[in-house]
Amino acid sequence: MVIELHVTVEKPPSLQDYLRNLVGVPKGLLHELRMSKEVKVNHEEPVWTHSLRKGDIISLPLFQEEVSPTPTNIDLSILYEDEHLLILNKDAGIDTHPASENDYHSLTNGVAYYFIQQSIHSKVRHIHRLDKETSGAILFAKHALSGAILDRELEARKIKRTYLALVEGLVETSQGTINKPIGKDRHHASRRRISPNGQIAITHFKVVKKFPKEKLTLVELNLDTGRTHQIRVHMSSLGHPLFGDTLYGAKSKHTRHSLHAWKLEVPQPFKQEGIFVTAPIPLNFGPPLLSLNIEKL
């Protein structure tokens, strides 16, 4: 498979600098492309160090790879798909990627099976991950080049993720920002904690609706960073752990913790347009009666 990129910038640099700095092709893949002799500019073999011109057409091969990890037939809920990426609606209770060598039932295993059925010769690349009990929109790349570009977009915060969380207690402030570093908890292998020596973590939140009778609050959240358990740790640090999240101090018990990746906005690789998807809120998100109410958002 070959994809074509149209040079739209004024006074573009050389081919190698254009692919590396403007498209986001990593060093290893750039070398592989160069050695393949299959890259063309205006259907001719290019001189990689010569400047491009606005309007040039760059043709890039997409190399076939061995599909991995082990494929498993799992029902997938597809929110969006094109030739470069796949956005799924993940159920709570399934890992994003295998939790161990002998785990063949993660979402990544299911995508590997789907790739084989669709004759997509590529290893599975999840661009971000969701905790096992977190549901909602999750992004996968279909080949190495789109994976590299999407990784770069995520790092540059151009991929926007919006979450919904049902938290214990009535949150007093209508909105706010939590800027507290997060590190590992040395007393609990799977737990994270606020730590002055941890990684920078920034979460923005706003109250969507309060449920005084149940003493719960529905909160919308956006992340500037993507630390492990970030929302769970940050909301717990405010005294409002997620409903059902006993690992971080919730008093309530539930089949899952109430966190849902609600919306996802992605700049489409190779095109000047964006993709926006909304993942329906599942009925097991919170208490049954509240979930029916929240589902109407």
Coil vs helix vs strand at 249: coil
Q: Is there a contact between 137 and 211 (Cβ–Cβ < 8 Å)?
A: no
- Give 202-239 pLDDT, tens digit per residue: 999 999 999 999 999 999 999 999 999 999 999 999 99
Position 220 in a domain: yes
Query: String of b and e for 125-158 (b: at least 16 CB within 10 Å)?
Result: bbbbbbbbbbbbbbbbbbbbbbbbbbbbbbeeee
Q: How many domains does one find in the chain? A: 2
In a domain, 15, yes or no: yes
70 found inside a domain: no
Q: Of 266, 226, 256, nearest to 135 (Cα)?
A: 256
Question: What's the first-to-final CA gap in the chain, in angstroms?
Answer: 41
Q: Is residue 287 part of a domain?
A: no
Residues of the chain scoring pLDDT < 50: none
State the Cα–Cα distance between residues 139 and 128, nearest whole angstrom. 7
- For 258, residues 6+ apart whose C-beta sits below 8 A from its C-beta are 165, 166, 167, 242, 243, 244, 245, 285, 286
- Alpha-carbon distance of 166 to 257, in angstroms, equals 8
What is the extent of the structural domain holding 237?
162-261
Whole-prediction pTM:
0.90
Q: Is 262 within 8 Å of 223 (Cβ atoms)? A: no
Question: In this structure, what CATH number is given to the domain that contains residue 204?
Answer: 3.30.2350.10
Task: Give me the catalytic one of 131, 185, 224, 245.
Answer: 131
95 is catalytic: no
pLDDT at 22 (0 to 100): 85
Residue 93 lies in a domain: no
Q: What is the pLDDT of residue 187?
A: 87
- Domain-located, residue 66: no
Task: List the CATH number of the domain containing 9.
Answer: 3.10.290.10
Domain presence at residue 105? no
Q: Is residue 7 part of a domain?
A: yes
User: Which residue blocks in 61-164 are alpha helix, DSSP H?
Assistant: 107-117, 144-155
